[in-house]
Amino acid sequence: AQKITQTQPGMFVQEKEAVTLDCTYDTSDPSYGLFWYKQPSSGEMIFLIYQGSYDQQNATEGRYSLNFQKARKSANLVISASQLGDSAMYFCAMRGNYNQGGKLIFGQGTELSVKP
Amino acid sequence: GAVVSQHPSRVICKSGTSVKIECRSLDFQATTMFWYRQFPKQSLMLMATSNEGSKATYEQGVEKDKFLINHASLTLSTLTVTSAHPEDSSFYICSAGQRGSSRYGYTFGSGTRLTVV
C-alpha cells in the first residue's frame, strides 16, 4: 500500500526567508511520481512541482525546489524567499503506477503562515 | 493549458435532497476522473475513480449508492450526492487524469462547497 506522511501540521516563516516542508512516502512500486500542491483558502489546487522516481536531478520550479532523497523516501519542498502570498495549505502527493489507475494519494497537509 | 470547469462552486441544500456536481474538461479529453472529498483543515480523501464509459471504482468505505458517479463522455463527469445529510457537508473536488499526456497529467476543478441544512 502507498502512504504519504506530512508531520508538520503548521509552519511559520518570516517573509523573504526560506522554508522546508517535510514529506515522506512509502511504496513498493519502483515507478512513482511525487507532487506538491498549494491550496489557498479559496480551495483551488495549484500544482507546484513534480519529481519522478527515476529522475536523477532534484526538480526545481522558480522559487520551489524538491529535495528528493530516494533512499530515505523523502521529498521535501523548499520555498526560497518566502512571500506573504505563500501563506496556504501545502500538500504532498504520490502517484503510483498507471496500472493501478494512476490515482493520486495526498498527505495530511502543512499550513504555512508567512509573517511580515 | 488544460482546464476543468467544476460547477456549482457553492451549494446549499436541504437534508434529504440530492445534489449534482459537474466537472467538464474544456480543451482536452479526460480519460479518467478522480473525485475527492475534503473536510476543513484536512487532507483530500479519494472517493472514487471513474473511467469514461465504465463503472466507477470506489474507495473502501465510500457508499456507491450514496455518491453516484457518471462519466458518460470524455469531457464530462458528474457526482451526485443522493439523500444528502448534514454530515455530507464538505468540499468536493474533481481531478482529471490524462493517460499518456504530460508527465504531470492532473488537472483539478475549482471545487464545490456543499452545505446540507
- Alpha-carbon B65 to chain mean position: 15
pLDDT for B115 beyond 80: yes
B93 interfacial to chain A (CB closer than 8 Å): yes
Contact A91 B93 (CB under 8 A): no
- Alpha-carbon B100 to chain mean position: 22
pLDDT value, residue A25: 97
B103 interfacial to chain A (CB closer than 8 Å): yes
E strands present in chain B: 4-7, 10-13, 19-25, 32-38, 44-51, 57-58, 67-73, 76-81, 90-97, 106-108, 112-116
Q: Which residues of chain B are within 8 Å of residue A52 when distances are taken between CB atoms?
A: 103
Quote the mean pLDDT of chain A.
93
pLDDT average, residue stretch A86-106:
85
Cβ contacts below 8 Å, chain A against chain B, sum to 54
pLDDT value, residue B27: 85
**CA distances in angstroms from B67 to A18, A100, B58, B82, B105, listed in the order given:** 42, 22, 9, 6, 25
**B43-98 pLDDT, tens digit each:** 999 999 998 888 899 999 999 999 999 988 889 999 999 999 999 999 999 999 87
Q: Is A43 left (phi over 0), alpha (psi -120 to 50) or beta?
A: left
Burial environment of residue B67 by CB neighbours within 10 A (0 to 12, 13 to 18, 19 or more) = buried
**A13-63 pLDDT, tens digit each:** 999 999 999 999 999 888 899 999 999 999 999 999 999 999 999 999 999
Residue of B nearest to A32 (CA): B103
